[in-house]
């Protein structure tokens, strides 16, 4: 057992033990004269005295000295170091193995080398050493905490396989640092077994490791590599006569091939092969594969483009989901005297863009109930109010959308408010004299204004010179107002559909909105929001979240591995974490029947880039704690001998015990000093024996000795 002190300077306080000794030595009797009537009949005798300076009350002295010694000891922060702990700190080791299981580790021969390296590391551990195993991709998962059971560590390797996910070293290093908290005094090491993809180093600069932890990489990737990957694809519906077909174009990127390869790419629709294409891949760079248009159902379609398997087969496939119809159909009904120039900017804005394509049809009346109405996503009433028709109301409640663009005609028509026209107009506000009205009180959390959450000034700079004075009906939601307080954008929900009323001018005669940069994104978002559709990508990346549509009641989602997920809705709606590559399918209430929504999930394209890091670059940008106390406080891992002593003292409590003993000793000393003869404040005279006498002091010990008085 070794004894050390964290603050040895406080041991100088042991000098204070001399204080009670000096006080005890100075405690002596003092003679006091006594009045006596007459000395004439007494014989005068010489008195011989002897002064003795000695300690007369050892128990009190020892208690007081012990209290001071314990107090000095407590402040010096004692540390007990046993031989076992010293041996562990000097010899035992703790190794955390970070095993990369990302998609790129499936390259021919790489995974086998990784497992062999992990087994060799485990088997090389000494009898007192401990080892842990962490499997990582774009996240880290602990397979085995620190243990000296090699069999358990080896067994945790058996079930591991590469998964279709990306690579990130930062989460793995942080997990390894946390595992080393279980071995604060061992020689610590983190070993990264990976192909060391350069793309995986993103975010590693934010990692902080203690100075006492050694990190090294074991590169198991191929020295030379060749790989072809389906990087992206485009899919759109085309109309051929009366049939709707799907046209798919894929882009394949090749690296490292020494010669051109002839392959046959396959196209799958909803899990079935629908087409093939023979192509010759370039030795380096991109090859475009254009498939012949194929028949596809009207609903959402899952698309799969696959290449023949190469050394890394996992990235030879790309999945996508094409919505039920990539064209958003808009029917526009205008007032009889509306000139084409008034709607020119609006129609041109809708014609721009392909995600989704917006098709505008001018109509003279509301499409009749049936197929014509069902094929319409949004009906725009330009400066005219919709009629409260049963068929139109039912269409909106089923998910259709109505946009009413209110102008000067509708402002003076005195149209009565109803469910499909949830506002009343009272003339036109003329703002020419004050350079036009501007938008204020924008509800940026509303989905209609989603494109402007980061740049609200783009809408606040719009000026309206004339606009109708609207008042929303009960239950309407005001999305934006003019600076005079009048509503600019109103919304009314009806079942699964919605009605949006705009007092904000969309032409260039009553305002300058069409010439502002915010016009195009606002108009397109207006159509997407009103129709209930978002500009969803053809696929998402692993690790993202899929926000389900609000009209999917009690959703049930099937994952690519067959698991059933039941996401719960919060204030932002229901969302599904996309943990695996594949197709996720959402249903209402039970996982059967027609899917309510589909989403395709792929590994990020960077995972196909196999260019490795040099092992010396693995920790480039990683911060190291140089101060030992900071390292111990932040991570619990000692960075040197001083840190080891501090960490050991933090796990012990002898200073608390010493302070408790100080309190106990002082209590005993107080009790002892006030009991019996020590508590008497008067002098006690024992008496005179005829020839000599002895006078005792307060403590009962003679301090002076004199001959008796006759």
pLDDT at 636: 39
Kindly tell me the burial class for residue 472, based on how many C-beta atoms sit within 10 Å of its own C-beta (0-12, 13-18, 19 or more).
Answer: middle
Is 48 a domain residue?
Answer: yes
Tell me the Ramachandran region of residue 687: left when phi exceeds 0, alpha when psi lies from -120 to 50, beta otherwise: left
pLDDT at 354: 65
Model confidence over 177-197: pLDDT tens digits? 999 888 777 788 999 999 999
Please tell me the predicted confidence (pLDDT) of residue 106.
93
pLDDT, residue 480, reads 94
- Residue 151 included in any domain: yes
pLDDT in tens, 554-610: 889 999 988 999 888 765 568 899 988 999 999 988 888 888 889 999 998 888 888
Residue 237 domain flag: no
Of the chain, the end-to-end C-alpha distance in Å amounts to 67
- Per-residue pLDDT, 686: 43
Q: What is the pLDDT of residues 42-73, one digit of tens each?
A: 777 776 555 555 666 778 778 888 888 888 88
User: Do 617 and 600 have their domain in common?
Assistant: no
Structure tokens at 334: 């205008």
Judgement on whether residues 333 and 477 belong to the same structural domain of the protein: yes
Instruction: Tell me: do 56 and 111 sit in the same domain.
Output: no
Q: What is the pLDDT of residue 698?
A: 42
| Enclosing domain of residue 690 | 2-76+657-707
Distance separating alpha carbons of residues 528 and 706, to the nearest angstrom:
118
- Helix (H) and strand (E) counts in the chain: 15, 38
CA distance 567 to 597: 14
Rounded CA-CA distance 547/140 in Å is 24
Select from 275, 302, 323 the last residue of a domain: 323
pLDDT-derived band at 639 (thresholds 50, 70, 90) equals very low
Q: Give the ranges where 511-636 is alpha helix by DSSP (H).
A: 519-531, 628-635
Rounded CA-CA distance 192/211 in Å is 17
Out of 258, 293, 323, a domain closes at 323
Percent of the chain at pLDDT exceeding 90: 36
Those residues whose C-beta lies under 8 Å from the C-beta of residue 598, and which sit 6 or more positions away, are 300, 302, 321, 583, 584, 585, 586
Residue 520 has pLDDT above 90, yes or no: yes
- Whether residues 572 and 522 share a domain: the answer is no
Quick check: 685 pLDDT over 50? no
Same domain, 175 and 116: yes
Phi, psi of 444 (to 5 degrees): -70, -15
In this structure, of 34-38, 268-272, 445-449, the range with the lowest mean pLDDT score is 34-38
380 φ, ψ to 5°? -100, 120
Residue 597 lies in a domain: yes
Q: Are 434 and 526 within one domain?
A: yes
| Ranges 262-276, 510-524, 610-624: which has the least confidence | 610-624
Counting the structural domains of the chain, the total is: 5
The domain that holds 287 is classified in CATH as 2.60.40
The reported pLDDT for the residue numbered 645 is 56
Q: Does residue 588 belong to any structural domain of this protein?
A: yes
Judged against a pLDDT cut of 50, whether residue 314 lies above it is answered with yes
308 part of a folded domain: yes
pLDDT for the residue 73 = 81
Give the DSSP H or E segment for 670. helix 654-673
pLDDT at 688: 42
Give 74 or 45, the one with higher predicted confidence.
Answer: 74
Rounded-to-integer distance, Cα 110 and Cα 195, Å? 8
The answer to whether residue 101 scores a pLDDT higher than 80 is yes
| Whether pLDDT at 701 is above 50 | no
> In 227-300, at which residue ranges do the beta strands (DSSP E only) sit?
227-240, 243-255, 261-269, 272-281, 285-290, 294-295
- The CATH number linked to 405 is 3.40.50.880
**pLDDT, tens digit, 9 for 90 and up, residues 208-254:** 888 778 888 999 998 888 889 999 998 877 777 667 788 999 999 99
600 and 459 together in one domain: no
**629 and 669 housed in the same domain:** no
Mean pLDDT of the chain: 82
**Is residue 641 predicted with pLDDT exceeding 60?**
no
Tell me the per-residue pLDDT of 152-177, one tens digit each, with 9 for 90 and over: 999 999 989 999 999 999 999 999 99
Residue 231 lies in a domain: no
Q: At what angle do helices 628-635 and 641-650 cross, to 10 degrees?
A: 40
The alpha-helical segments, DSSP class H, found in 388-509 are: 390-397, 408-411, 457-460
Same domain, 358 and 456: yes
Can you give the pLDDT at residue 699?
40
Condensed to tens digits (0 to 9), the pLDDT of residues 628-637 reads 333 333 333 3
DSSP 284-322: SEEEEEEPPPEE--SS-EEEEEE----SSGGGSEEEEEE
pLDDT at 707: 37
Domain end, chosen from 304, 323, 342, is at: 323
* In-domain check, residue 644: no
Residue 274 token pair: 């629908």
146 and 52 both lie in a single domain: no
Q: Are residues 53 and 94 in the same domain?
A: no
Residue 633: count of CB within 10 angstroms of its CB? 14
Same domain, 116 and 188: yes
Q: Report the distance separating Cα 509 and Cα 507, nearest Å.
A: 6
């Amino acid at each position: 057992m070794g004894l050390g002190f964290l603050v040895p300077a406080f041991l100088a306080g042991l000098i204070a033990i001399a204080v009670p000794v000096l006080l005890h030595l100075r405690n002596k009797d003092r003679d006091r004269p006594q009045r006596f009537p007459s000395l004439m009949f007494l014989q005068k005798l010489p008195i011989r005295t002897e002064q003795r300076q000695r300690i007369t009350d050892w128990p009190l002295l020892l208690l007081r000295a012990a209290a001071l010694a314990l107090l000095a000891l407590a402040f010096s922060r004692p540390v007990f170091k046993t031989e076992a702990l010293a041996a562990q700190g000097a010899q035992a080791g703790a190794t955390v193995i970070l095993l990369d299981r990302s998609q790129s580790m499936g390259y021919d021969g790489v995974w086998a080398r990784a497992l062999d390296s992990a087994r060799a590391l485990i088997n090389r551990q000494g009898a007192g050493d401990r080892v842990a195993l962490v499997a990582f991709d774009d996240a880290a998962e602990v397979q085995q905490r620190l243990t000296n059971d090699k069999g358990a560590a080896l067994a945790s390797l058996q079930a591991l396989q590469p998964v279709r996910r990306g690579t990130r070293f930062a989460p793995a290093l942080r997990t390894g640092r946390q595992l080393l908290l279980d071995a604060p005094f061992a020689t610590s090491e983190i070993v990264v077994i990976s192909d060391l993809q350069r793309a995986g180093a993103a975010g590693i600069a934010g990692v902080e490791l203690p100075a006492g932890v050694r990190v090294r990489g074991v590169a198991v990737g191929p020295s030379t590599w060749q790989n072809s990957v389906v990087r992206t694809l485009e899919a759109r519906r085309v109309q051929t006569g009366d049939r709707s077909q799907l046209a798919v174009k894929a882009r394949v990127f090749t690296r490292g091939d020494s010669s051109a390869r002839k392959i046959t790419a396959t196209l799958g629709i909803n899990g079935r092969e629908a087409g093939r294409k023979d192509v010759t891949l370039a030795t380096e760079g991109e090859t475009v594969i254009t498939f012949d248009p194929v028949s596809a159902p009207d609903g959402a379609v899952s698309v799969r483009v696959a290449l023949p398997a190469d050394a890394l087969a996992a990235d030879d496939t790309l999945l996508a989901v094409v919505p039920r119809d990539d064209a958003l159909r808009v029917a526009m009904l205008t007032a009889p005297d509306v000139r084409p120039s008034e709607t020119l900017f609006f129609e041109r804005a809708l014609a721009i863009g392909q995600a989704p394509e917006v098709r505008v049809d001018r109509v003279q009346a509301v499409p009749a109930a049936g197929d014509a109405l069902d094929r319409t996503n949004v009906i725009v009433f330009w400066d005219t109010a919709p009629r409260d028709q049963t068929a139109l109301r039912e269409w909106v409640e089923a998910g259709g959308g109505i946009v009413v663009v209110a102008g000067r005609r509708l402002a003076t028509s005195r149209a009565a408010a109803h469910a499909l026209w949830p506002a009343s107009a009272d003339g036109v506000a003329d703002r020419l004299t004050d350079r036009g009205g501007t938008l204020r009180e924008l509800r940026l959390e509303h989905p209609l204004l989603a494109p402007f959450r980061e740049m609200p000034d783009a809408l606040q700079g719009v000026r309206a010179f004339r606009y109708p004075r609207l008042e929303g009906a009960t239950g309407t939601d005001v999305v934006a107002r003019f600076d005079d307080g009048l509503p600019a954008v109103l919304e009314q929900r009806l079942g699964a559909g919605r009605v949006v009323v705009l007092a904000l001018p969309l032409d260039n005669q009553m305002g300058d909105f069409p010439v502002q940069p915010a016009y195009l994104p606002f108009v397109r978002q207006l159509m997407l929001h009103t129709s209930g559709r978002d500009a969803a990508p053809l696929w998402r990346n692993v690790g993202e979240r899929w926000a389900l549509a609000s009209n999917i009641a009690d959703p049930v989602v099937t994952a690519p591995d067959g698991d059933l997920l039941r996401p719960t809705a919060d204030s932002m709606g229901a969302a599904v974490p996309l943990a695996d590559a594949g197709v996720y399918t959402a249903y209402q209430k039970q996982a059967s029947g027609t899917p309510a929504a589909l989403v395709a999930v792929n590994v990020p394209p960077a995972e196909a880039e196999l260019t490795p890091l040099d092992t010396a670059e693995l920790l480039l940008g990683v911060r190291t704690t140089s101060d030992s106390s900071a390292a111990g406080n932040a991570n619990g891992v000692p960075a040197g001998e001083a840190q080891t002593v501090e960490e050991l003292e933090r796990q012990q409590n002898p200073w608390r015990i010493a302070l408790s003993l100080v309190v106990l000793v002082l209590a005993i000393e107080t009790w002892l000093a006030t009991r019996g003869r020590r508590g008497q404040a008067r002098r006690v005279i024992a008496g005179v024996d005829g020839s000599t006498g002895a006078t005792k002091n307060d403590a009962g010990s003679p301090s002076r000795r004199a001959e008796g008085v006759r």
